[in-house]
Amino acid sequence: MQWRALVIGLVGCEVWSWAQPAPAAAKPGPADAKPRPTATKPRAKAPAPVKPAVPPVAEQPPAPGEIREFPVASIKLEGHSNYTPEQILAAAQLSLGAMANKPTFEAARDRLLATGAFDRVDYIYFTAADGKSYDATFTVVEATPLYPYRLEELPAGVEAYLKAKDPLFSQKIPATKEKVAMWAKLIQEKAGVPVVGKVDADSPNNLYVMFRPAGSAPSVAEVKFTGQSVIPSAALRNAINGVAIGTIFNETRFRQLLATTIKPLYEERGRLRVTFPKVTVERSREVNGLNVMVTVDEGASFTLGDIRMQGRNLPEAELMRAADFKMGDLANMTAVNEGVERMRNVLRRLGYIGAVATPDRLVNDQNKVVDLVIDIDPGDQFMMRALKVDGLDIESEPVIRKMWGLKEGKPFNPEYPDVFLNRVRVDQVFEELGEARSALTIDRAAKAVDVTLLFGRAAKAKSILKSEPRP
């Protein structure tokens, strides 16, 4: 074995020597050239040994439990409709370029949930293409329904303070416990008094969130008017005091009272554009309540202009006589409404028991004239069919039937049965009538009405025809 290794080594050395290039031949010089003396060069130092290059160390994966922090490269928002992306990011306290990791995104989600504006918040994030930043997506489910808010008995500047402090400020808010509590706290900071918030309503379909100082809601102690001249202030107070004094103050409800009690007084005088531009309240110094000050803008006086009716088969002349208003009259809208009701009664007496008459106003502010278009739908005409009498004996019933004047097949007048019974009482047809009333049975398919006259026990027990005057 040893001699074989020796032979292989010698052969390898010989092959290596054959492979080396031959030394280059010296170039020939001029013929008369003299040989130059050979200069002795100083012996060069041996070069320092070169250390082998160290290969770069690959980035190590994160250790177990380590959470890397990278800047946020992009944020995508999904599911929002009531709030803008800027509002949501401000509430989450998250921005592009900020350093973030998993705890950062979790804290942003928790802040959004704490606002009470969202029922659910989900997030997901990935390492971006550059490997040194994050792309994140937040998906939200907004809390609903949303309600308008109101501020009552609170100082000026509260709304501006809310807008500055709440990134998710809006004219409508969810009535969640978190949202109402947060706003109550902010309002309290600004107002300096304890504040409560709760859902309230002007009507079943008109809900809102009310914020006001804590404690029992004050009631209306006094109502005053300013700006009026057409109607004395005392008359206005008398009209509204009966429905307003002692009630819990709510501006919307109070304005409804103004519309139903004060506005008709002005419309009787042709003041169709009366408004109440300002309603203010202050604590009463005499009693535990509120003094309400109402500013009145009475507007100009209007007269009636063109008056026309629209509908089918209408006895217009008879209807206009019943209405008793005409062009050029003061636009007394109370009188107009009463006249329109008289028009409807004319049609009802002609058998159109479901007649509807609606006046529409066309106000010309430039000429101070209001035109009326009275839309009349008479409906079906009903006829008298059968008369039934209940409670009288065989002697008394024929007398009643003979007196009854509304014949079968004639247009049915719904006022007639009660008018007839009143006549029976006034004429003292019976010695002792007792209770008497009428009942109607309407057959809409046949467009007919049956009338039943119901007499009480006294008339049934003592149905003696009056034969001579009582002494």
What is the pLDDT confidence band of residue 250, given thresholds at 50, 70 and 90?
confident
Domains of the chain and any CATH numbers: 70-142 (3.10.20.310), 146-213 (3.10.20), 220-297 (3.10.20.310), 303-377 (3.10.20.310), 383-461 (3.10.20.310)
Q: Cα separation of 90 and 183, whole Å?
A: 17
Beta carbons of 305 and 366 less than 8 angstroms apart = no
Give the per-residue pLDDT at 457. Answer: 64
Give the per-residue pLDDT at 13. Answer: 46
Q: What is the value of pTM for the model shown?
A: 0.55
Return the H-helix or E-strand segment holding 353: none
What is the pLDDT confidence band of residue 322, given thresholds at 50, 70 and 90?
very high
* Residue range 206-232: mean pLDDT, rounded: 89
Q: What is the mean pLDDT of the chain?
A: 85
Q: Is the pLDDT of residue 220 over 80?
A: yes
Give the per-residue pLDDT at 31. Answer: 45
Give the per-residue pLDDT at 62. Answer: 52
Q: Is the pLDDT of residue 8 over 80?
A: no
Least confident of 58-62, 209-213, 346-350: 58-62
Q: Cα separation of 134 and 127, whole Å?
A: 5
pLDDT digit string (tens) for 385-405?
Answer: 999 999 888 888 999 999 999
* Residue range 115-120: mean pLDDT, rounded: 96
* Residue range 91-118: mean pLDDT, rounded: 95
Q: Is the pLDDT of residue 18 over 50?
A: no
Give the per-residue pLDDT at 201. Answer: 78
Q: Is the pLDDT of residue 67 over 90?
A: no
- The phi, psi pair for 320, rounded to 5°, reads -70, -35
Higher-confidence residue: 204 or 251? 251
Return the H-helix or E-strand segment holding 252: helix 251-257
What is the pLDDT confidence band of residue 248, given thresholds at 50, 70 and 90?
confident
* Residue range 14-35: mean pLDDT, rounded: 47
Q: Is the pLDDT of residue 72 over 90?
A: yes
Task: Give the rounded distance of the alpha carbon of 305 from its chain centre.
Answer: 38
Give the per-residue pLDDT at 428. Answer: 85
Q: Is the pLDDT of residue 17 over 90?
A: no
Give the per-residue pLDDT at 142. Answer: 96
Task: Give the rounded distance of the alpha carbon of 209 from its chain centre.
Answer: 11
Least confident of 122-126, 136-140, 151-155: 151-155
* Residue range 105-129: mean pLDDT, rounded: 95
pLDDT digit string (tens) for 168-203?
Answer: 999 999 999 999 999 999 999 999 999 999 898 766
What is the pLDDT confidence band of residue 32, given thresholds at 50, 70 and 90?
very low
Give the per-residue pLDDT at 48. Answer: 59
157 Cβ contact list (under 8 Å, min separation 6): 190
442 Cβ contact list (under 8 Å, min separation 6): 353, 382, 448, 449
* Residue range 309-337: mean pLDDT, rounded: 93
Q: How far is CA 162 from CA 115, 154, 190, 212, 272, in A?
A: 13, 13, 9, 14, 39
Place of tokens 């609170």: 154
Give the per-residue pLDDT at 217. Answer: 74
As a whole-number percent, the residues of the chain with pLDDT over 70 amount to 82
Query: Which two structure tokens, joined as six digits, stand for 438?
Result: 């009428």
Strands (E), 101-204: 118-127, 134-142, 146-151, 172-174, 195-203
Q: Is the pLDDT of residue 55 over 90?
A: no
